């Protein structure tokens, strides 16, 4: 028997979610954007100059504490211990986003922003101030869904990431730069020269013949561009980053570009990712999600996590504040 | 290094306070005695820089922590693997370079031993703050001992040198590159010239034993290779750049010569031959000094030494005017005569009991004779009565400020004989004269004279000086390659400890425990001209660069004699010669230069 070990750390699963491999997405996929579906083949890396500046945007989030917001006075006997409370769940979270600008021989961190918040749907909630930090109220809509708080946090994080990306574009960026956003593009489709970088493949967008092409890509090769239409439209392509030969989808990332742009612009972007991204691909002993977790993004996440502050300290502060409240 | 020069000038001109260079960091514990500073971008700290930080205490005065940089480090923050440096330099991985400096606290003022607070701004100390950090402000009598790394003078507290609160200097370092002798001489020069002696200047003397070549025979001549940079260093130290003004030079008489000419090759004038007459040798019972281990109790023959010395004195009398000594019918004119006489006396049956002691066996007598004969070769030139009597042959520190005794032509046994006798004589003279004046005694290769193992009259004399010299006014300036081989008490009694370039194995020994780890490492790569000086008040030794000698160290460097006549013996009180080489000083820029750079292929003999 011959077998290969998936390069990702087991804790992260694999880049290819096995349960979903066969579950083809309901999204409409247009394969004929670059070449007709019948003539799909690997696109070799062209010889074009790399952009002078590459910007990487990413954010991190951390739940500092789960809290219960009391919805009124204690029922029953005061300190007697028999009393119960009505309470609503909430989370106190810290989240941050930032930009790494890789220009020439230097990679610099900039535009980092750390925010915190109390996410809850409780109507009587206010912000929390502790000795070490402030958690302003970020109200979540009480729609009963179990992950409403997490989604609210994710929404806020996306907003910070968006701010960071726009800031990077305005302050650092140059006319020929490339902005790489970690994860799907989502609402940032209006930013020019921007690609989303998806590391984990949860859905199969390509039908059989084209799907097999992905596994046969070599380093820095990509599939032709295709158009995905769900609730919003975006262009996409698969790209293989350099990594040891092994698992079929090892080192494969899916890039996204805004569906609003022209095909020429998208093809230009796809070409650029072939030139740029392999350079930043991480090496397996340095990153648990190599090579898809790019060096600048890993560095950025490490730094952002550090800037979130010490979790134990923040937790203690919240405990102290709850007693005092 | 333009910035370094600028910093040096700013500090030199006495501007205060210094510029902020960073903040006390909080990832390492800050203690009242040591803390770390993160250096802000655009600033730097180097080893030996002086740094100050303040902490306001509730209800108390603001506490100032001053210290010296004893370690500096730079690292990539954000890097996890050694190979990340390539990614960072290629612009792939974001990371920041952060430099941090360890500050060893020298002073907490007022004395409230609280740690500095992380986050507190730290600034480079200049002017008064630097003086306070290094205790220069409390030194009432201070001697410039060189320039710090910042180009500003560094001082020695004279209280710890003249016996008031301490005495003696111990200089250690590898031969050839440690510049031990040069530094010791510079210190002497500085002490004599900086004015710290005040009214005692006239009576303060130095006795210098020269054991390595004829380097020290030109102390009274200006050094023609001293350039403007060197003169500028002297000017910054507040010292004239010139030779020693008053020097007397002694050398042993030339072997096989019966006119009493001194045995020196490089210098033809102004050197006086010295020797002891046989009459002195017998009358003063100097025989024990001819033996290396005469006071070692494990040796049987030492009894014979004492007995023979006593007999030579009691049974003889002076003969003639040249110092001959008559015992019975024999007249002793050379050391060989004396050896023959003693041999006869201790071996003949009828005299042996009287001369060697009543119960002394033949084996012990033979052991004594064997040693006496081997001493005879070494001492023949020094103990004699075959040269015309001459008043100047006695070595004396009376007539001049610095007395150089050249021993390099003598065998080791004879060197010890001379050093031992001269030290004893000067000790006795000082005991009689009282502590009003000072005598600096400079001895190189101290491990020969006061070795850790064994015992000898010379070692006893040195121990006596080390222990009582402070009250007698005799200051020992001892130099040795390895302090670990010198008698512990001699090194231990030194208030001022100086280290030049050290052998790495030697640097690890406990004798250098006063050096912090980084300074020990630095001492193994120290350049000629750089010394680490530890003095009692300062918990951290200071790195010092002393200037190139302003006096000649060889004939090729010697300028014309600065005054009428030569550096001859007996020209007491000559104080001319200060003006030599003074013109053109202060022309050198503030840039830091290797003071010894002018002679890269031809270093002065140290």
Q: pLDDT tens digit string along A148-160? A: 888 899 999 999 9
pLDDT of amino acid B457? 76
How far does B2 lie from chain A, in Å, by closest CA?
26
Report the residue of chain B nearest A285, measured CA to CA.
B81
Looking at A184-188, B501-505, B520-524, which range is the least confident one?
A184-188
The percentage of residues in chain A with a pLDDT greater than 70, rounded to a whole number, is 89
Q: What's the pLDDT band for B178 if we cut at 50, 70, 90?
A: low
Alpha-carbon distances of B527 from B50, B147, B173, B180, rounded to whole Å = 21, 14, 11, 12
pLDDT of amino acid B508? 85
**What CA–CA distance (Å, rounded) separates A87 from A79?**
18
Report the residue of chain B nearest A55, measured CA to CA.
B92
**Structure tokens of B383?**
């103990």
Strands B205-210 and B439-443: parallel
Q: What's the pLDDT band for B570 if we cut at 50, 70, 90?
A: very low
Average of pLDDT values for B126-138? 90
Looking at A72-86, B495-509, B581-595, which range is the least confident one?
B581-595
**What CA–CA distance (Å, rounded) separates B330 from B336?**
12
| pLDDT higher than 80, residue B8 | no
Looking at B134-138, B159-163, B592-596, which range is the least confident one?
B592-596
Q: What's the pLDDT band for B13 if we cut at 50, 70, 90?
A: very low
Alpha-carbon distances of B70 from B3, B73, B102, B235, rounded to whole Å = 20, 10, 6, 28
Residues of A with CB under 8 A from a CB of B: 100, 102-109, 279-280, 286, 295-296, 298-300, 302-303
Question: Which of B38-52, B354-368, B425-439 is the most confident on average?
Answer: B38-52
Optimal mutation site among A106, A111, A309, interface B, most CBs of chain B within 10 A: A106
| pLDDT higher than 70, residue B3 | no
Q: Do B304 and B368 touch, CB atoms closer than 8 A?
A: yes
| pLDDT higher than 50, residue B214 | yes
Q: What is the tens place of the pLDDT at every residue in B25-68?
A: 999 999 999 999 999 999 999 998 999 999 999 887 899 999 99
pLDDT of amino acid B571? 37
Q: Are A105 and B93 a contacting pair at CB < 8 A?
A: no
**What CA–CA distance (Å, rounded) separates B291 from A181?**
89
**What CA–CA distance (Å, rounded) separates B599 from B451?**
35
How far does A242 lie from chain B, in Å, by closest CA?
15
Q: What is the dihedral of CA A219, A220, A224, A230, to 10 degrees?
A: 90
Residue bearing the bigger pLDDT, A3 or A164: A164
**What CA–CA distance (Å, rounded) separates A313 from B5?**
45
Residue bearing the bigger pLDDT, A298 or A104: A298
| pLDDT higher than 90, residue B569 | no
Task: Name the residue among B80, B73, B119 with its Cα closest to residue A306.
Answer: B80
Q: Are B92 and A295 a contacting pair at CB < 8 A?
A: yes
Classify residue B289 by its DSSP letter: G
Q: What is the tens place of the pLDDT at every residue in A22-43?
A: 455 667 889 999 999 899 999 9
Using a CB-CB cut-off of 8 Å, the residues of chain A touching B78 are 299, 302-303
Q: Are B81 and A100 a contacting pair at CB < 8 A?
A: no
Average of pLDDT values for A204-214? 87
> B338: which residues sit within 8 A by CB, 6+ positions away?
B278, B281, B282, B312, B325, B332, B383
Mean pLDDT, rounded, of chain B:
83
Q: Are B91 and A106 a contacting pair at CB < 8 A?
A: yes
| pLDDT higher than 80, residue B115 | yes
pLDDT of amino acid A48? 87
How far does A46 lie from chain B, in Å, by closest CA?
21
Question: Phi and psi dihedrals of A259, rounded to 5?
Answer: -75, -10
* pTM confidence score: 0.77
Classify residue A264 by its DSSP letter: H
Among B78, B81, B95, whose Cβ lies nearest the Cβ of A286? B81
Q: What's the pLDDT band for B391 if we cut at 50, 70, 90?
A: confident
pLDDT of amino acid B102? 95
Average of pLDDT values for B399-426? 88
Q: How many CB pairs under 8 A join A and B?
A: 39
Optimal mutation site among B81, B83, B93, B96, interface A, most CBs of chain A within 10 A: B93
Q: Are A102 and B92 a contacting pair at CB < 8 A?
A: yes
Question: Which of B355-359, B365-369, B588-592 is the most confident on average?
Answer: B365-369
How far does B95 lie from chain A, in Å, by closest CA?
7
pLDDT of amino acid A19? 54
Among B80, B84, B91, whose Cβ lies nearest the Cβ of A105? B91
pLDDT of amino acid B596? 52
pLDDT of amino acid B5? 40
Q: Do B286 and B280 touch, CB atoms closer than 8 A?
A: yes
Using a CB-CB cut-off of 8 Å, the residues of chain A touching B94 are 100, 102, 107-109, 296, 299-300, 303
Q: How many helices (H) and strands (E) does chain A have?
A: 6, 12
Q: Are A104 and B91 a contacting pair at CB < 8 A?
A: yes
ipTM topping 0.85 = no
Which letter, b or e, does each residue of B365-381 get, where b requires 16 or more Cβ atoms within 10 Å of its Cβ?
bebbbebbeebbebbbb
Using a CB-CB cut-off of 8 Å, the residues of chain B touching A106 are 91
| pLDDT higher than 80, residue B595 | no
Q: What's the pLDDT band for B236 if we cut at 50, 70, 90?
A: very high
Strands B247-251 and B271-273: parallel
Q: Are B91 and A102 a contacting pair at CB < 8 A?
A: yes
Residue with token string 């006063």: B514
How far does B140 lie from chain A, in Å, by closest CA?
51
Looking at B78-87, B256-265, B292-301, which range is the least confident one?
B292-301
| pLDDT higher than 90, residue A192 | no
Q: Are B93 and A107 a contacting pair at CB < 8 A?
A: yes
Q: Are B80 and A303 a contacting pair at CB < 8 A?
A: no
How far does B114 lie from chain A, in Å, by closest CA?
25
Using a CB-CB cut-off of 8 Å, the residues of chain B touching A303 are 78, 94
**E strand map for B78-218:** 96-109, 121-124, 142-147, 153-157, 169-172, 205-210
| pLDDT higher than 60, residue B600 | no
How far does A58 lie from chain B, in Å, by closest CA?
13
Report the residue of chain A nearest B93, measured CA to CA.
A296
Task: Name the residue among A123, A153, A141 with its Cα closest to residue A63.
Answer: A153
How far does A119 lie from chain B, in Å, by closest CA?
31
In angstroms, how far is the first alpha carbon of chain A from the final one? 63
Alpha-carbon distances of A321 from A128, A325, B450, rounded to whole Å = 8, 6, 72
Mean pLDDT, rounded, of chain A:
85
Q: What's the pLDDT band for B550 if we cut at 50, 70, 90?
A: very high
| pLDDT higher than 70, residue B294 | no
């Amino acid at each position: 028997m011959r077998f290969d070990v998936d390069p990702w750390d087991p804790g992260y699963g694999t880049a290819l979610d096995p349960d979903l491999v066969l579950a083809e997405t309901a999204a409409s996929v247009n394969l004929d954007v670059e070449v007709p579906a019948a003539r799909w083949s690997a696109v070799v890396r062209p010889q074009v100059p790399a952009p002078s500046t590459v910007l990487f945007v990413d954010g991190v989030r951390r739940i500092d504490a789960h809290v219960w917001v009391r919805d009124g006075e204690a029922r029953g006997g005061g300190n007697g211990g028999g009393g119960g409370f009505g309470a609503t769940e909430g989370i106190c979270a810290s989240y941050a986003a930032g930009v790494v600008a890789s220009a020439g021989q230097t990679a610099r961190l900039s535009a980092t922003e750390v925010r915190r918040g109390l996410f809850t749907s409780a109507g009587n909630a206010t912000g929390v101030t502790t000795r070490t930090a402030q958690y302003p109220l970020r109200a979540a809509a009480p729609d009963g869904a179990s992950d409403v708080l997490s989604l609210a946090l994710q929404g806020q994080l996306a907003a910070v990431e968006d701010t960071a990306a726009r800031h990077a574009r305005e302050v650092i960026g140059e006319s020929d730069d490339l902005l790489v956003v970690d994860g799907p593009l989502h609402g940032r489709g209006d930013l020019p020269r921007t690609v989303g970088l998806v590391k984990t493949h949860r859905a199969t967008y390509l039908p059989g013949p084209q799907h097999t092409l992905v596994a046969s890509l070599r380093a820095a090769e990509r599939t032709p561009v295709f158009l995905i239409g769900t609730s919003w439209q975006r262009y996409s392509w698969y790209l293989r980053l350099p990594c040891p030969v092994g698992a079929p989808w090892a080192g494969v990332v899916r890039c996204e570009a805004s569906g609003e742009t022209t095909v020429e612009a998208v093809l230009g972007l796809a070409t650029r990712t072939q030139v740029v991204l392999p350079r930043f691909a991480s090496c397996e002993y340095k990153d648990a999600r190599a090579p898809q977790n790019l060096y600048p993004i890993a560095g950025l996440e490490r730094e952002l996590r550090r800037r979130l502050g010490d979790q134990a300290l923040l937790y203690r502060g919240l405990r102290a504040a709850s007693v005092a409240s | 290094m333009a910035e370094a020069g600028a910093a040096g000038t700013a500090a030199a001109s006495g501007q205060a306070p210094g510029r902020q260079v960073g903040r006390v960091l909080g990832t390492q514990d800050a203690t009242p005695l040591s803390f770390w500073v993160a250096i802000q971008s655009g600033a730097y700290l180097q080893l030996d820089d002086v740094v100050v930080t303040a902490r306001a205490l509730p209800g108390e005065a603001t506490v100032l922590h001053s210290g010296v940089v004893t370690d500096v480090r730079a690292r990539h923050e954000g890097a996890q693997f050694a190979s990340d440096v390539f990614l960072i330099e290629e612009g792939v991985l974001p990371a920041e370079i952060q430099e941090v400096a360890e500050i060893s606290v020298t002073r907490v003022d007022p004395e409230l031993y609280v740690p500095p607070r992380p986050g507190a701004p730290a600034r480079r100390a200049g002017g008064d703050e630097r003086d306070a950090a290094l205790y220069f402000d409390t030194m009432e009598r201070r001697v410039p001992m060189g320039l710090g790394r910042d180009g500003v003078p560094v001082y020695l507290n004279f209280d710890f040198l003249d016996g008031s609160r301490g005495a003696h200097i111990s200089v250690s370092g590898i031969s050839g590159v440690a510049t031990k002798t040069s530094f010791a001489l510079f210190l002497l020069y500085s002490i004599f010239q900086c004015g710290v002696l005040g009214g005692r200047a006239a009576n303060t003397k130095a006795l210098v034993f020269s054991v390595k070549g004829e380097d020290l025979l030109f102390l009274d001549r200006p050094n023609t290779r001293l350039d403007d940079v060197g003169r500028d260093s002297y000017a910054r130290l507040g010292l004239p750049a010139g030779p020693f003004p008053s020097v007397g030079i002694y050398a042993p008489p030339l072997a096989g010569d019966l006119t009493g000419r001194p045995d020196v090759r490089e210098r033809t004038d102004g050197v006086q031959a010295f020797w002891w007459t046989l009459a002195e040798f017998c009358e003063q019972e100097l025989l024990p000094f001819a033996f290396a281990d005469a006071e070692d109790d494990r040796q049987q023959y030492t009894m014979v030494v004492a007995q023979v010395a006593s007999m030579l004195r009691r049974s003889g009398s002076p003969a003639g005017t040249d110092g001959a000594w008559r015992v019975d019918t024999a007249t002793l004119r050379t050391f060989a005569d004396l050896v023959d006489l003693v041999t006869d006396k201790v071996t003949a049956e009828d005299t042996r009991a009287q001369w060697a002691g009543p119960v002394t066996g033949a084996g012990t007598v033979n052991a004594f004779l064997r040693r006496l004969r081997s001493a005879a070769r070494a001492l023949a030139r020094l103990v004699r009565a075959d040269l015309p009597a001459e008043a100047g042959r006695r070595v004396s520190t009376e007539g001049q400020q610095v007395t150089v005794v050249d021993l390099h032509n003598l065998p080791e046994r004879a060197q010890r004989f001379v050093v031992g006798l001269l030290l004893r004589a000067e000790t006795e003279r000082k005991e009689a004269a009282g502590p009003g004046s000072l005598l600096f005694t400079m001895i190189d290769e101290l491990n020969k004279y006061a070795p850790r193992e064994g015992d000898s009259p010379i070692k006893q004399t040195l121990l006596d000086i080390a222990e009582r010299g402070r009250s007698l006014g005799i200051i020992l300036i001892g130099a040795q390659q390895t302090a670990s081989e010198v008698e512990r008490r001699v090194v231990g009694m030194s208030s001022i400890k100086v280290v030049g370039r050290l052998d790495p194995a030697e640097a690890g020994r406990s004798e250098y425990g006063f050096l912090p780890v980084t300074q020990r490492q630095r001492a193994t790569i120290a350049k000629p001209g750089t010394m680490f000086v530890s003095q009692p008040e300062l918990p951290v030794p200071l790195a010092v660069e002393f200037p190139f000698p302003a006096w000649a160290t060889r004939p090729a460097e010697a300028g014309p004699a600065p005054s009428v006549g030569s550096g001859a013996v007996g020209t007491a009180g000559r104080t001319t010669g200060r003006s030599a080489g003074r013109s053109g000083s202060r022309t050198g820029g503030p840039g830091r230069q290797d003071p010894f750079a002018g002679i890269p292929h031809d270093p002065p003999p140290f």
